[in-house]
Amino acid sequence: MTQLALVIDLNVCVGCHACVTSCKEWNTSGPAGFMTDENPYGKDPTGTFFNRVQTYEIGEFPKTETLHFPKSCLHCEDAPCVPVCPTGASYKREQDGIVLVDYDKCVGCRYCTWACPYGAREIDEDQKVMKKCTLCVDRIYDESLPEAERKPACVLACPTSARLFGDVHDPESDVSVTIREEGGYQLMPEWGTHPSNHYLPRRKTRMHIHEDELQRADNPLNKEQRGPSGPVEGTTLDDSTSW
């Protein structure tokens, strides 16, 4: 069974928010739209986004790491938002594992918000329905798009290609290979939700300098010794030997 998901590489994410706004621009005018903005030109603007980037600092100066952490619905295999929904609006698609909300059935009761341990759901304050990442289900099967573009908008946008998309159940898929080989992990596995989205950890490249690399035969300073150019002043053996 297919389980589509995102794999997000924290090793290259620079926190640029391209995924945040490209998601919004695609989805606000699509089947999942519109995505309301409250006070768009006033005090405390706020709006519906399916995807947000949080930034954390780890450690103390000067050993500080700054981590950018994009977060959206993780499309859990055992999605806790689905069984709590009283109207059946929240559902997981059998064919690809995408968790969706049927707005026609949603009554905006927010049970799913409370059930989701990841804070991935957002109520649309205007339409009073629950909204969330659809993995751009309206793009990925759209045959009018070039095949290379049948991907979520955030994946297409990401300038560092930190967002990979594919079937995590297919062991040969790029995402499965990457998870396996690059240490991909799930968020809060202890909750038993089996999130489909995975994250790749930071990886450091270090350089070790060996002493012999600094004591070099090819040291160009050796070329700067000026050779003796003429007779030297003072006494030498020339003046005192007789063989």
Span 62-101, contacts to other proteins by CB under 8 A? 62, 64-68, 100
> Residue 130 and residue 100: Cα distance in Å, rounded?
10
For residue 202, the minimal CB distance to other proteins (Å) is 8
For residue 121, the minimal CB distance to other proteins (Å) is 16
- Rule CB under 8 A: is residue 172 a binding residue for other proteins? no
Q: Which of 85, 81, 84 is nearest to 118 (CA)?
A: 81
Candidate residues 36, 109, 117, 191; the one interacting with other proteins per rule CB under 8 A: 36
- Rule CB under 8 A: is residue 43 a binding residue for other proteins? yes
Q: Which residues, 6+ apart, have CB-to-CB distance to 204 below 8 Å?
A: none
For residue 34, the minimal CB distance to other proteins (Å) is 3
User: How many residues bind other proteins, per CB under 8 A?
Assistant: 86
Candidate residues 3, 5, 7, 26; the one interacting with other proteins per rule CB under 8 A: 26
Candidate residues 92, 127, 169, 183; the one interacting with other proteins per rule CB under 8 A: 127
Which one, 21 or 117, has the nearer CB to other proteins? 21
Structure tokens at 165: 């998309």
**Could you tell me which stretch among 21-29, 71-79, 110-118, 184-192 binds other proteins (CB under 8 A)?**
21-29
The beta-strand segments (E) located in 73-136 are 90-92, 99-101, 122-124, 129-131
Q: Which residues, 6+ apart, have CB-to-CB distance to 242 below 8 Å?
A: none
Which one, 88 or 189, has the nearer CB to other proteins? 88
CA angle at 154 for the pair 35 and 85, rounded to the nearest 5°: 50
**Residue 32 CA neighbour count, 13 Å, CB half:** 24
Candidate residues 24, 71, 132, 198; the one interacting with other proteins per rule CB under 8 A: 24
Positions 199 through 218 that interact with other proteins (CB under 8 A): 202, 204-207, 209, 213-214, 216, 218
Candidate residues 4, 8, 20, 133; the one interacting with other proteins per rule CB under 8 A: 20
Which one, 52 or 191, has the nearer CB to other proteins? 52
In which residue are the tokens 């006033």 written? Answer: 42
> Residue 81 and residue 149: Cα distance in Å, rounded?
29
> Residue 128 and residue 107: Cα distance in Å, rounded?
7
